[in-house]
Amino acid sequence: MSGYPVIQLIGVTGMGEIIKGSKLSEIIRNAASMQGTPIMERDILVVTQKIVSKAEGSVVDLSTIHPSDFAKSFAMKWGKDPRHVEVILKESRRVVRMEKGVLITETHHGFICANAGVDASNVPGSDNVCLLPKMPDASAKSIRDEIYNAIGLTVAVVISDTFGRPWREGTTNVAIGIAGINPIKDYRGVEDSYGYELKSSVAATGDEIAASAELVSNKTDHIPVSIIRGLPYDDSEGSISLLIRDPSKDLFR
């Protein structure tokens, strides 16, 4: 296979239940080593949002929530828990669409997604829901820095979450936080193999990385972290904000 591009996807198993205060960088390192695939220089770690939120304590007990009249009205109409609806509204900068019991909102981060990313799956306790990390880029940077400080290896970190997509069935993982890698690859100004200068080709590398990791880190197998090995990338502080389209360029806002 020499001379051919090869990328490995490695799911990290054996991490156990993550709770508030868990040190993710250490847990990830130990689990990867125990399964015989220790972290290596230039690896990309894709960490699912749920364990980041759990470790940071971004979990809400619905018994502490007092829903507004608006939340109660929507919940009653569509058979929802009004407390859950209230949490979604609090996590939203604006409501994009409310129809057929579905809430599409823009989060305070600028992400447009279902239910502001508020989710009850894979969260212990029947009355608990998980929120998105407050500062996903900072969360990714913390994991990256702690790994470097502990074992002297430079890695990139992508925090992923599962989003639906307009006009297409099914969900896919996208990047919601990054550290050490540029989430955009800009081909504009580059000539293709026929000499044509590319005018508008910009690849969402961060999302592509997150989506590929889901192939080995899915919803039911308790594999919340993936290692992507062999993918060349440029070091960059970057920011997930580079993947959020400016309203002035958005034809659907």
- The tens digit of pLDDT for each residue in 102-116 reads 899 999 999 999 999
Sorted by where each begins, the domain ranges of the chain are: 8-58+133-245, 60-129
pLDDT single digits (tens) 23-66: 999 999 999 999 999 999 999 999 999 999 999 999 999 999 99
Three-class secondary structure of residue 153 per DSSP: coil
Task: Tell me which residue of 43, 41, 47, 42 sits closest to 12, measured CA to CA.
Answer: 47
Q: What is the pTM of this model?
A: 0.93
Pick the CATH number of 8-58+133-245 from 3.40.630.10, 3.20.20.100, 3.30.1330.100, 3.55.10.10: 3.30.1330.100
pLDDT band at 193; cut points 50, 70, 90: confident
Has residue 1 got a pLDDT over 50?
no
Judge whether 8-58+133-245 and 60-129 match in fold: no
> Would you list the DSSP string of 208-245?
HHHHHHTTTS-TTTT--EEEEES---------GGGGSP
Pick the CATH number of 60-129 from 3.40.50.300, 1.20.1250.20, 1.10.10.60, 3.90.1660.10: 3.90.1660.10
Average pLDDT over residues 152-167: 94
Task: Tell me which residue of 174, 147, 149 sits closest to 159, measured CA to CA.
Answer: 174
